[in-house]
Amino acid sequence: MLPPTIPIFPLPDAVLFPGVFLPLHIFEPRYRAMVADVLDGDRVIGMTLLRPGWESDYEGRPPIFPIGCAGLVTHAERLPDGRFDIVLKGLSRFRVVDEEPGRPYRVARVQGLAEAVEDREALAAGRRRLEALLAPVLSSRRCRVPSTLGDDEVVNGLSQCLDLEPIERQALLECAGALARCRLLAQILEMKVVARRPAGGRH
């Protein structure tokens, strides 16, 4: 269960998913203070995506998408100059209710969002569809999706790690669970395949 109030770390290009690890390099003074505080507390940070147009107010409080994912700091290394290298493991999605002033970094009151209870057969079929769509890419890189990973782990891991636009990853995060996320990811991948075809080329 998430704390009702958590620090949030808005970025323009990083989206965290439940159960997935995310390495981060922390260098801004306000977020160094955030990491120092969470390491003395419950070690939870909420990752959120900045809305387009954030560049004009990055040093302030530019608008964010309301749904993010909280992560637990599983590893932290403080560098000699005060920067941090940390690793977050995604815990659960949340919705930002509002933000609280008074800290150098952003702090939000949040409502936890549970993942949907899935039809496991449908999710397994969805995973196979994803693996078929990705087969050419995986074979060219001589890699494969480990069979020991659970279906939801595969879907969330691919959602975070594939070469997608940040807004596409945000849409995947906002899905109610792994099955809906799996189906949307398959649609995104299919659209990218179509977009790569030469104009007038055969299907």
One pLDDT digit (tens) per residue for the chain, 203 residues:
899 999 999 999 999 999 999 999 999 999 999 999 999 999 999 999 998 876 666 667 889 999 999 999 999 999 999 999 999 999 999 999 999 988 899 999 999 999 998 899 999 999 999 989 988 766 555 455 667 789 999 999 999 988 899 999 999 999 999 999 999 999 999 987 766 655 554 44
**Is 2.40.50.100 the CATH classification of the domain at 5-113?**
no
Residue 70 backbone class (left: φ over 0; alpha: ψ -120 to 50; beta: rest): beta
**Coil, strand or helix at 55:** helix
Distance CA(181)–CA(187), nearest Å, equals 10
DSSP state of 5: E
Q: Which pLDDT score, from 0 to 100, does residue 135 have?
A: 83
Query: Sign of dihedral through CA atoms 74, 95, 14, 64?
Result: negative
Place of tokens 């496991």: 120
Phi and psi at 184, nearest 5°, equal -70, -40
Domain ranges of the chain: 5-113, 120-196
Pairing of strands 44-49, 5-11: parallel
